[in-house]
Structure 1
Amino acid sequence: MKDLACQQFQDTVADYLIRHQSILDILSKSQEANARVNRAVVKAVTDCGCVSINAEKSPLPPDASLSDLKQLRESHLNGTLCTNCRDIIERELGKSLFYLTALCHSLDLDLADVLQKEQNKISTLRMFNMT
């Protein structure tokens, strides 16, 4: 069964693809949007400081099992996004989703199908899905 929210979003994106109908435009705008997401996260750390990154190599015991890895690994992220940073990152993620959806539309792919297939793969492979 089709996901109504995904279908509505994909239809709306298709309606507004006026300037960026070329697959080349969509690919370059998608890459730009993803870079803006990364930049917004970096700015939350470097300009605002609401979150910080404390990254170092995580020690792994030689006898650690695959299921232990989830508890042994961490995000290296400390703190919580402030309202302003959260809004900016959500806005940038929205643009990134727009161009991902535009790519689906241009290639005649259904966003809901793509999401469902990925969900099925993840739930089937579970922790062995190391992509």
Structure 2
Amino acid sequence: MIVSPDNPLLEKGTLTVHDLRHQRFALFNDVANEQIFRHLQFLCGPLKVIINLDNAWSMYATITKLNAVCLGRTFQTHHSPYSPLADLPEIELGDLIDSHFEFGWLTNPNDELSATTVELIDHINDRYYPLSR
């Protein structure tokens, strides 16, 4: 969750459902975020959404000027065309939302992979998952 530097939630160690019920949410128009938000509402009950946006500058302004919170992914802020968005504080919601992500390879044993594909998979496995072998 992305917040303004003066948001009181930053002082809390772990957020509770009660903390989130009193926030005003600004959401990116993003299917994955919508799914996470629906799950959050399942836990918290109805949450107040003040705006849905596609524009990073507008999201930054909404967070900083209206003290709204943005349910977003780190990827969205760190690769935003409006770089100040990446400078805003983030609060993990891992205690409330399962943010675990699995990555792996599915292959068909009846279809042989090209040498280039095998090389790519080996490179990624060695680089990012060296202990899984």
Q: Which has the higher strand share?
A: 2
- Of structures 1 and 2, the one scoring higher in RCO (CA 8 A, sep 6+) is 1
TM-score by length of 1: 0.22
Q: Which has the higher helix share?
A: 1
